[in-house]
Structure 1
């Protein structure tokens, strides 16, 4: 297997990121969510371009092909894309008292089980730690929960996020100390 490389995303990467997210939502949530829940989840998932502007969104590539993406944030928003129904809060977090956020993690279905998610988590955790955060939190999809548990994240609460369609989408708020 060819080595993976990583870099920060730029605005020019947005179309490729959006396409990867669509493939991941379509393929990787089956077996965890019903078709109605998958459709509703699109309203609260997706890319938050603020992460790209903040230079906190990573791409993982193999031989120039986008294999996965994900980021972290020093802003209060916990999850959701630009056009989503998720609550938005651009307030800057206090790294001494509040956890950073792990955000918008996706792996291309053709690259699952190759360490992409773990690499993105490590990049995000290292960057958040360097920025002074002692803890991070995320909103896990049910399909992502096993990865986060294996990486040391602990459940804080189970939620049912309501999308505009009225179909609740289950999720798990999780956290991890970075010490």
Structure 2
């Protein structure tokens, strides 16, 4: 029986990552968003390939299957993918003054409740800590909020619209100290 194996993502993983993201958005956001909001959320979610280039994006596999993915960033962008309507900011953060970012966390619906999200978060937290960061922030979806709270993240602010979408898609800015 295969086991969950984490590793840094490569460009060759991009098609599988995008497929997992699509399945996760469609399935895991359904209890929290209307169908129109799910469609609109694609304009604020997705893969930022800068994370792969920066070597800060992880995938978790189970045999040949991609179970989940997610990363962290030392850049200023809080959320948003390559194709999103969000303006990204590639400015490098100061680890002594700024919070690193948790970015683009997705679990394939076939692998929920198996520790994939916790594994990716732990990898991100360890890597950000090793880079000198003392705090993390993220823009969480409503579907991700329970996991992040269970992992020690606290609400900073509720956001009625993560991007200029119609209909608006709510989010939650969250943070955690890396003590």
Which bracket does the TM-score occupy, shorter chain normalised? over 0.9
Determine the structure 2 residue equivalent to 1:77. Answer: 77
Determine the structure 1 residue equivalent to 2:110. Answer: 110
Contact 1:40 1:163 (C-alpha < 8 Å) held by counterparts: no
Query: SS in structure 1 opposite 2:157?
Result: strand
Q: Distance in 1 between matches of 2:14 and 2:174?
A: 27
Q: Distance in 2 between matches of 1:63 and 1:144?
A: 25
Q: Which runs of 4+ in 1 moved over 6 A?
A: none
Gap change, CA 1:162 and 1:146, over 3 Å in 2: closer
Determine the structure 2 residue equivalent to 1:133. Answer: 133
Query: SS in structure 2 opposite 1:32?
Result: coil
Deviates more, 1:160-169 or 1:106-115: 160-169
Q: Distance in 1 between matches of 2:77 and 2:5?
A: 28
Q: Distance in 2 between matches of 1:102 and 1:55?
A: 14
Q: How far apart are 1:64 and its partner, in Å?
A: 2.1
Gap change, CA 1:162 and 1:130, over 3 Å in 2: closer
Q: Distance in 1 between matches of 2:71 and 2:84?
A: 17
Query: SS in structure 1 opposite 2:128?
Result: helix
Q: Distance in 1 between matches of 2:163 and 2:72?
A: 23
The answer to whether structure 1 residue 153 and structure 2 residue 153 are counterparts is yes
Instruction: Provide structure 1 residue ranges, at least 5 long, that are not aligned to the other structure.
Output: none
Determine the structure 2 residue equivalent to 1:55. Answer: 55
Determine the structure 2 residue equivalent to 1:170. Answer: 170
Q: How far apart are 1:87 and its partner, in Å?
A: 2.7
CA offsets per residue over residues 66-85 of structure 1, 9 Å max, x none? 00000000000000100101
Aligned residues: CA RMSD = 1.1
Gap change, CA 1:120 and 1:43, over 3 Å in 2: same
Contact 2:162 2:171 (C-alpha < 8 Å) held by counterparts: no
Contact 1:72 1:124 (C-alpha < 8 Å) held by counterparts: yes
